[in-house]
């Protein structure tokens, strides 16, 4: 049970790292607690709400009561399965805005500016435009990760893009290319009608080299000897040894948990649980961020939405079409159009994202009805939370406290999101089908009314990050340096969304995989040459909101 590199977590970044290290001739052992990713609920894109709510595939985490959301406990799904959260997520592919990464570099993550990360996005992609336009010069071909576009045949999908243009916003052929800002087709990690997870893209090819193996078990603590990580002890007592390095890629929830169980974290908090301090790093578990969103729902006239498939017979037909022919609605996650806009003049790049869905339904698949909805929320909330230990027992869930809506600016930004969404859904493009507003509802107009709706209805977008923040080695609140090395411990790195200094625009799967790709190169002592591409920024952003 020994290899050059031991990776904790077969998730988005861990799978990417396993492949790149094995490809370079290194031996790799990947520790994963979850089981197989085979089965229709994971592989059928339209079934995405099922694995996210199945304890077989999901850790089943909940937040602590959130005081600014009426004391609600919110779901915090994380993949407990081969492929990690890439096997249970919504498959949406968003690189993030160029300015996100330039902010990382400016705040201490040297070498992580947009010029540095763009070559890794290109390397990892096998991009297909699906006949819906795009920006080939900015995209990658031949990489492990298939990125595709839905057919966009439902008239509501196109209506959302048209409505954005009618409201005066930009349109974009490719929000992952030169121009994020605007309305256009969504992209997804789907290929030939099936979910294309990190396990399919990276882990299977890594295993095919003969140099990568999976070890099933729960990582209980890191084995650290004289300040150097030597391996990982599993809950059943087995020890997996690393000749070169241990790489923790266990998620923004479980990576800080494992570090703290191993004595790396805030000294006072570790002492509370009787854990001997190896490295006093106050930032471990702190800086927790997420995207919070509200589903602005409208009822629809006619049978234009996906609700016509919601009966038992309809679902059976969709399932049969997918199972036997890889055709029909089952081949899409149904998020096929989107938008990125700025909330006001004076903001240089988008701070609001829209996911459009031609159905009115909750993310857990409940409450479906004839209608459509736009998921909306601020991209760069100033609220910060923390992941802390519940006990020193590795089998106990950590405490997850996002502290949502704790910053007063969040309320102003969220109200603006709702009002701008209503304006877009009120455009002429939706006139043939638009019914009444369901959520927040036509009576919710005042600030107080909208605040009440946010407290009652806002949900996580399932984008936790930031809990092992990357920064300068002399930054007391940083956990890892710009090469992913844990500050104060040798032979140990973290590579997943926990190292994000600040949350990126949009969904986090793509930047999480990119982190795995780039940290793998740091491990191997190499890097791709920086890019010179300049992203589009609205020419009058100082004075114009659209």
Q: How far apart are CA 217 and CA 164, in angstroms?
A: 48
Least Cα distance to 30 among 50, 49, 14, 12 occurs for: 14
* 129 occurs within a structural domain: no
* 541 occurs within a structural domain: no
Least Cα distance to 285 among 31, 509, 479, 526 occurs for: 479
Distances (CA, A) of 214 to 71, 207, 218, 239, 505: 40, 8, 12, 14, 33
* The two three-digit tokens of residue 82, written as one number: 């081969």
What is the arithmetic mean of pLDDT over 393-409? 98
According to the model, what pLDDT value does residue 130 have? 82
Reported as half-sphere exposure (CB side, CA atoms, 13 A), residue 138 has a value of 20
pLDDT at 98 over 90: yes
Q: How far apart are CA 64 and CA 88, in angstroms?
A: 22
- Cis preceding-peptide flag for 126 (omega within 30 of 0): no
What is the arithmetic mean of pLDDT over 508-534? 98
According to the model, what pLDDT value does residue 65 have? 98
Q: Are residues 196 and 177 in the same domain?
A: no
Q: Are residues 352 and 439 in the same domain?
A: yes
What is the arithmetic mean of pLDDT over 387-408? 98
Q: How far apart are CA 522 and CA 514, in angstroms?
A: 13
3-state SS class at 288:
strand
Q: How far apart are CA 243 and CA 229, in angstroms?
A: 10
pLDDT at 262 over 80: yes
Q: Are residues 257 and 230 in the same domain?
A: yes
Q: How far apart are CA 465 and CA 400, in angstroms?
A: 12
Least Cα distance to 421 among 544, 286, 298 occurs for: 298
Confidence of residue 365 (pLDDT cuts 50, 70, 90): confident
* 131 occurs within a structural domain: no
Q: How far apart are CA 494 and CA 306, in angstroms?
A: 41
Q: Are residues 263 and 371 in the same domain?
A: no
What rounded mean pLDDT belongs to the chain? 97
* 141 occurs within a structural domain: no
According to the model, what pLDDT value does residue 35 have? 96
* Strand pairing class (182-185; 145-149): unpaired
Q: How far apart are CA 35 and CA 21, in angstroms?
A: 23
Q: Are residues 6 and 104 in the same domain?
A: yes
The predicted-structure confidence for 109-143, as pLDDT tens digits, reads as follows 999 999 999 999 999 999 999 888 898 999 999 99
Q: What is the CATH number of the domain that holds 441?
A: 3.30.410.40
* 545 occurs within a structural domain: no
Scan for tokens 């992203």, then name that residue: 535
pLDDT at 362 over 90: no
Q: Are residues 354 and 473 in the same domain?
A: no
Confidence of residue 163 (pLDDT cuts 50, 70, 90): very high
pLDDT at 363 over 80: no
Q: Are residues 214 and 245 in the same domain?
A: yes
Per the structure, the complete domain to which residue 302 belongs is given by 151-185+292-378+406-457
What is the arithmetic mean of pLDDT over 444-459? 98
pLDDT at 277 over 80: yes
Catalytic residue positions, numbered = 463
pTM of the entire structure? 0.98
Percent of the chain with pLDDT over 90: 97
Q: Are residues 360 and 478 in the same domain?
A: no
Confidence of residue 366 (pLDDT cuts 50, 70, 90): confident
Q: How far apart are CA 62 and CA 74, in angstroms?
A: 6
248 is in an annotated binding site: no
């Amino acid at each position: 049970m020994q290899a050059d590199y031991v990776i904790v977590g077969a998730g988005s970044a861990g799978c990417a790292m396993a492949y790149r290290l094995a490809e370079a001739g290194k031996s790799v052992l990947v520790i994963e607690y979850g089981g197989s990713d085979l089965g229709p609920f994971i592989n059928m894109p339209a079934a995405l709400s099922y694995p996210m709510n199945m304890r077989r595939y999901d850790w089943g985490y909940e937040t602590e009561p959130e005081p600014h959301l009426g004391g609600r406990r919110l779901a915090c799904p994380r993949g407990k399965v081969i492929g990690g959260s890439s096997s249970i997520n919504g498959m949406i592919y968003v690189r993030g805005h160029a300015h996100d990464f330039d902010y990382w570099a400016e705040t201490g993550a040297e070498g992580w500016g947009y010029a540095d990360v763009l070559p890794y996005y290109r390397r990892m992609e096998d991009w297909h435009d699906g006949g819906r336009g795009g920006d080939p010069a900015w995209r990658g071909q031949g990489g492990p990760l298939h990125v595709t576009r839905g057919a966009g045949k439902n008239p509501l999908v196109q209506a959302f893009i048209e409505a954005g243009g009618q409201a005066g916003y930009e349109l974009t052929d490719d929000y992952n290319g030169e121009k994020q800002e605007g309305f256009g087709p969504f992209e997804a990690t789907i290929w030939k009608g099936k979910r294309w997870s990190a396990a399919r893209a990276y882990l299977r090819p890594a295993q095919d080299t003969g140099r990568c193996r999976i070890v099933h078990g729960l990582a209980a603590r890191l084995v650290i000897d004289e300040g150097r990580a030597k391996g990982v002890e599993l809950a059943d007592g087995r020890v997996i040894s690393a000749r070169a390095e241990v790489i923790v890629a266990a998620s923004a929830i479980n990576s800080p948990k494992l570090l703290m169980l191993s004595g790396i974290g805030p000294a006072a908090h570790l002492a509370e649980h009787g854990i001997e301090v190896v490295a006093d790093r106050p930032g471990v578990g702190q800086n927790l961020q997420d995207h919070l969103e509200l589903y602005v729902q409208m009822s629809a006239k006619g049978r234009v939405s996906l609700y016509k498939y919601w009966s038992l017979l309809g679902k059976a037909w969709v399932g049969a079409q997918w199972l036997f022919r890889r055709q029909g609605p089952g081949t899409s996650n149904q998020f096929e159009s989107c938008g990125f806009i700025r909330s006001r003049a004076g903001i240089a790049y988008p701070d609001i994202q829209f996911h459009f869905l031609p159905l009115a339904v909750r993310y857990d698949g409940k409450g479906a009805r004839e209608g459509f909805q736009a998921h909306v929320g601020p991209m760069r909330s100033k609220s910060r939370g923390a992941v802390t230990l519940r006990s020193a027992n590795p089998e106990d869930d950590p405490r997850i406290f996002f502290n949502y809506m704790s910053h007063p600016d969040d309320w102003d930004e969220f109200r603006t999101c709702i009002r701008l969404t209503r304006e877009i859904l009120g455009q002429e493009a939706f006139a043939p089908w638009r019914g009444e507003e369901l959520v927040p509802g036509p009576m919710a107009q005042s600030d107080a009314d909208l605040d009440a709706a946010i407290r009652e209805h806002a949900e996580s977008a399932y984008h936790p990050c930031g809990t092992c923040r990357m920064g300068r080695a002399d930054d007391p609140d940083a956990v890892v340096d710009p090469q992913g090395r844990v500050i104060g411990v040798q032979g140990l790195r973290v590579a997943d969304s926990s190292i994000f200094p600040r949350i990126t625009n949009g969904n986090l799967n793509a930047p999480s995989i990119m982190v795995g790709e780039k940290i793998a190169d740091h491990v191997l002592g190499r890097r791709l040459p920086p890019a010179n591409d300049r992203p589009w920024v609205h020419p009058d952003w100082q004075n114009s909101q659209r």
